Structure 1
Amino acid sequence: MSRLGRVSAEATAAARSFLRRRTAVFFTFFFPVILVLIFGVLVRTQPTGGGLFAKPGGYYLPGYLAVVVLFTPLSRVGSEIARHRSGNRFEKLATTPLSRTEWLLAHTVVNVGIIGAASLLIFGLVVAVTDASVALTPALLALPVFVVLGVTVFCGVGALLGAIADSQDGVIAASNTVALPLLFLSETFVPPSLLPGWFLPAVNLSPLTYFARGVRAITYSGDPWLGHLLVLAGLAVAFLAAGAFAIPRTD
């Protein structure tokens, strides 16, 4: 079987496994929808005021997309590795032609499909229920690329967490510990003007920052976005390689 065939077979099996877990499917789409309804409808933005959520609704679209781009791959890939470790599946995997890189790539493809669908739902919901308006420009075609690269980055991070944590509960705790600070300190919901000056250089260390900046440039500000795309692409390659290397051969 070719490499493409091995990746396709593993991706098909992973997708079927996810679809069988109906609770996971439901909350993958339900959680970001609830977030949009709470902060986009109930907690309305007030552009003439100050503080959090004081900018127009379009400013926060990258933040809503970041919720699924960040949380879903961290928890799904990390938990999948934890389940494989507890069942000694990697020891069995080592006897097959499927490499660790191919395994992680297959699960990344599945996450791209799931999160791509969730992102499309969030995008439509934000435009429908908030005051956000998105100009239909050629740059909008780069938005799916940002989603793919963002998902790839955090699939790699999820693989690292799954390899380090000693249980599925440990993966969930580690994922939340990593994801919550990144979600609010990566120019998603909190503007840089609300952060202390000494902390601003640390914002540039977050991969999610480049996702948020690029998506915001495409959908809201009209600023240059190619540089953010290139940085995110480099980070995607680096984290995917690191995650594949960290996946254990045996347990």
Structure 2
Amino acid sequence: MSTATTTKSLNDADLSLEAPKTEDLAALLVSRERPPRPSALSASITFGWRAMLKIKHVPEQLFDVTAFPIMMVLMYTYLFGGALAGSTEEYIQFLLPGILTMSVVMITMYTGVAVNTDITKGVFDRFRTLPIWRPAPMVGYLLGDVIRYLLASLVMLTVGMIIGYRPDGGIGGVLLGVLVLLVFAFSFSWVWTMFGLLLRSEKSVMGVSMMVIFPLTFLSNVFVDPKTMPGWLQAFVNNSPVTHVATAVRDLMAGEWPAADIAWSLGWSALFVVIFGSLTMRLYNRK
């Protein structure tokens, strides 16, 4: 008897609750303002901050912008200084801007590795569903890496000053030189974002990057004056983008104004962004 009474009361209670009408639900949703869509700048900065947080949780990633630059400066200065310039004090004046350019350019390849890692983990599938500016994840990677390039530059300049480097251009010349280098590194990183999307694994990205970076950086004026090279090699070295950037950085830090090399450096930077940036976004949209 009690069971029947209870069941009847529950049924009466269910009947008393009216189902919400579609009009009421629509009015409730429409009445609230939707949050504004993030701008291209804010979305890019957010993804750049994400790259910084990854370094916070895995600080070993800073090895390539701290220990590696220190090793490069000390090794090449004391290995080649006496043989090429007669003393390490003389050679460091020529070497430091060049080895600074070489180290930062080599670090750019880790952008492609980071992109490829996120693809294999499926993170990019989530990025593609977000209502954000489509290139924001890529630009965020590059913005985060600019901080890494800046840190590597500070480390190398500090070590260079300790062992005898003295820039005649003062603080202004050093800042301008680093600025030109950062602009070029940001643009050159688009090459590796393309490879990060195109290749299947991190090892493939690393292998291709080494094949491109080593000839490009060593066949330049980073270590020696191209005038001592054979004529056919000078033709390549004098037109290399790394040579133009290294010369611009070296002369700016020396207190000069290499207008031609600065123009070449910025021109190469624009070319990398236009070509490889476009290819990167095409792959990103199709992949």
One-letter code aligned to 1:80: A
Q: 1:57 to 1:48 in 2, by over 3 A?
A: closer
Q: Deviations over 1:72-104 (max 9, x none)?
A: 111x21102211332343333222233443322
Counterpart-to-counterpart distance in 1, 2:121 and 2:242 = 32
One-letter code aligned to 1:169: K
Find the counterpart in structure 2 of residue 190 from structure 1.
224
Q: 1:98 to 1:228 in 2, by over 3 A?
A: farther
Counterpart-to-counterpart distance in 1, 2:177 and 2:140 = 22
CA contact (8 A) 2:69 2:103 kept: yes
Find the counterpart in structure 2 of residue 208 from structure 1.
242
Indicate which of 139, 157, 167 corresponds to 1:134: 167
Q: Is 1:13 aligned with 2:46?
A: no
Q: Is 1:217 aligned with 2:251?
A: yes
Counterpart-to-counterpart distance in 1, 2:187 and 2:262 = 12
Counterpart-to-counterpart distance in 1, 2:233 and 2:134 = 37
Q: Is 1:36 aligned with 2:61?
A: no
Q: 1:42 to 1:205 in 2, by over 3 A?
A: closer
Q: Is 1:80 aligned with 2:117?
A: no
Counterpart-to-counterpart distance in 2, 1:13 and 1:162 = 18
Post-superposition offset of 1:67: 3.2
One-letter code aligned to 1:215: V
Q: Deviations over 1:139-160 (max 9, x none)?
A: 3341231122121132112113
CA contact (8 A) 1:79 1:168 kept: yes
Post-superposition offset of 1:48: 5.7
Post-superposition offset of 1:46: 4.5
One-letter code aligned to 1:145: L
Structure 1 gap ranges (5+): none
Find the counterpart in structure 1 of residue 261 from structure 2.
228
Find the counterpart in structure 2 of residue 241 from structure 1.
274
Q: Is 1:167 aligned with 2:201?
A: yes
Structure 2 gap ranges (5+): 1-37
Post-superposition offset of 1:42: 5.1
Counterpart-to-counterpart distance in 1, 2:132 and 2:240 = 31
Indicate which of 45, 60, 85 corresponds to 2:82: 45
Runs of 4+ in 1 over 4 A off after TM superposition: 46-49
Alignment of 1:33-182 (within 5 A): 33-41=70-78, 43-46=80-83, 56-74=91-109, 76-130=110-164, 132-137=165-170, 138-182=172-216
Post-superposition offset of 1:192: 0.3
- Corresponding residue pairs, total: 246
Post-superposition offset of 1:63: 2.3
Larger relative contact order (CA 8 Å, sep ≥ 6): 1
Post-superposition offset of 1:116: 0.6
Q: Which structure has the greater CA radius of gyration?
A: 2
CA contact (8 A) 1:73 1:155 kept: yes
Indicate which of 26, 40, 43 corresponds to 1:3: 40
Q: Deviations over 1:156-207 (max 9, x none)?
A: 1211322332211000111111111112112111320232101222224432
Identity of aligned residues (%): 22
